[in-house]
Structure 1
Amino acid sequence: MAARGANDGDDHAERSPELLHYRAFEAIYRLGTLTAAAAHLRLSQPALSKSLALLRRYYGDELFLRGKLGMKPTARARQLYVAIADMLRIADGELRAQPDFDPASSHRVLRISCSEVGAIHFMPRLIARVGQIAPGLRFEVVPLMSRHTESALASGEVDLALGAYTDFGPGVLSQPMYEVPYVCLVRQDHPRIRETLDLATFCREQHIVASLPDRMHAFSRVEQAIVDVAGAAAITVRVHSLLIAPYVVAQSDHIFTATRHVAQRVAVIPGLRIVDCPLPLPPILVRQYWHSAQGGDPAIAWLRAQIESLFLGDLRS
Structure 2
Amino acid sequence: MATRRALQGDNAERSPELLHFRAFEAIFRLGSLTAAAEHLGLTQPALSKSLSLLRRYYGEDLFIRGKQGMRPTARARLLAPHVVDMLRIADGELRAQAGFEPARSSRVFRISCSEIGAIHFMPRLVASAAALAPGVRFDVVPLLSQQTESMLANGEVDLALGAYMDFGSRVHSQALYEVPYVCLVRQGHPRIGQTMDLAAFRREQHVVASLRDTMHAFSRVEQAIIDVAGSAAITLRVHSLLVAPYVVAQTDHIFTATQHVAQRVAVIPGLRVVECPLPLPSIVVRQYWHSSQSGDPAIAWLRAQIESLFGEDLR
Structure 2 length as normaliser, TM-score? 0.79
| Residues 215/121 of structure 1: CA separation in 2 closer, same or farther (3 Å cut) | closer
Contact persistence 1:92–1:155 (CA under 8 A): no
Deviates more, 1:32-41 or 1:203-212: 32-41
1:73 offset after TM fit, Å? 9.0
Distance in structure 2 (CA, Å) of the matches to 1:128 and 1:20: 33
Q: Which 10-residue stretch deviates more, 288-297 or 143-152? A: 143-152
Partner secondary structure for residue 146 of structure 2: helix
- Secondary structure class of the residue paired with 1:258: strand
2:280 equivalent to 1:281: yes
Tell me which residue corresponds to 2:4: none
* Alignment partners' CA distance in 2, 1:231 and 1:67: 48
Question: How many Å apart are 1:63 and its aligned residue?
Answer: 9.2
Q: Indicate conservation of the 8 Å contact 2:20/2:51, yes or no.
A: no
CA contact (8 A) 2:28 2:72 kept: no
Query: Does structure 1 residue 293 correspond to structure 2 residue 292?
Result: yes
Count of residues in correspondence between the two structures: 303
Question: Counterparts of 2:160 and 2:218 in 1: how far apart (Å)?
Answer: 16
Larger mean CA deviation between 105-114 and 203-212 belongs to 105-114
Residue number in structure 1 paired with 2:123: 124
* SS, match of residue 305 in structure 1: helix
SS at match of 2:272: strand
Q: CA deviation at 1:211?
A: 1.4
Measured against aligned partners, the alpha-carbon deviations of 1:95-140 in whole angstroms (never above 9, x if no partner) come to: 4434321112222222222112111211222222222222222222
Check the 8 A contact 1:177/1:312 in 2, yes or no: yes
Q: Secondary structure at the match of 1:104?
A: helix
Q: Which SS does the other structure have where 1:179 is aligned?
A: strand
Q: Which moved more, 1:124-133 or 1:17-26?
A: 17-26
- Structure number with greater Rg is 2
* Contact residue 209 and residue 257 of structure 1 kept, 8 A: yes
Structure 1 letter corresponding to 2:212: P
Aligned residue identity for 1:23: E
Distance change >3 Å, CA 137–CA 17, structure 1 → 2: closer
- What's 2:191 paired with? 192
Show structure 2 runs of 5+ residues with no match. Answer: 1-6
- How far does residue 26 in structure 1 lie from its aligned partner after superposition? 5.2
CA–CA separation in structure 1 for the residues paired with 2:273 and 2:291: 40
Query: Identity of counterpart residues, as a percentage?
Result: 69
Please provide the CA RMSD for this pair.
Answer: 3.7
Q: Which consecutive unaligned segments of at least 5 residues does structure 1 have?
A: 1-6
SS in 2 for 1:250: helix
AA aligned to 2:268 is I
Q: Is the 8 A contact 2:63 2:70 kept in 1?
A: no
**Corresponding residue of 1:4:** none
**In structure 2, what is the Cα distance between the partners aligned to 1:45 and 1:280?**
58
CA 178–101 in structure 1, closer or farther in 2 if over 3 Å, else same? same
Name the SS of the counterpart of 2:102 in structure 1: coil
Task: Name 2:182's counterpart in structure 1.
Answer: 183
Contact 1:257/1:277 (CA < 8 Å) preserved in 2? yes
Give the equivalent residue in structure 2 for 1:308.
307
Q: CA deviation at 1:214?
A: 2.9
Conserved? CA contact 1:145–1:214, under 8 Å: yes
What is the Cα deviation at residue 174 of structure 1?
Answer: 0.8
* Letter in structure 2 aligned against 1:309: S
- Aligned twin of 1:157: 156
**When the two structures are superposed, what TM-score results if normalisation uses the length of structure 1?**
0.79
Give distance in 1, aligned partners of 2:148 and 2:79: 20
Change over 3 Å in CA distance of 1:199–1:39 after alignment to 2: farther
The 1-side partners of 2:26 and 2:225 are apart by: 43
Q: Deviations over 1:203-236 (max 9, x none)?
A: 2211111111335322221112112222222111
The question of whether the paired residues in 2 share the 8 Å contact of 1:146 and 1:165 is answered with: no
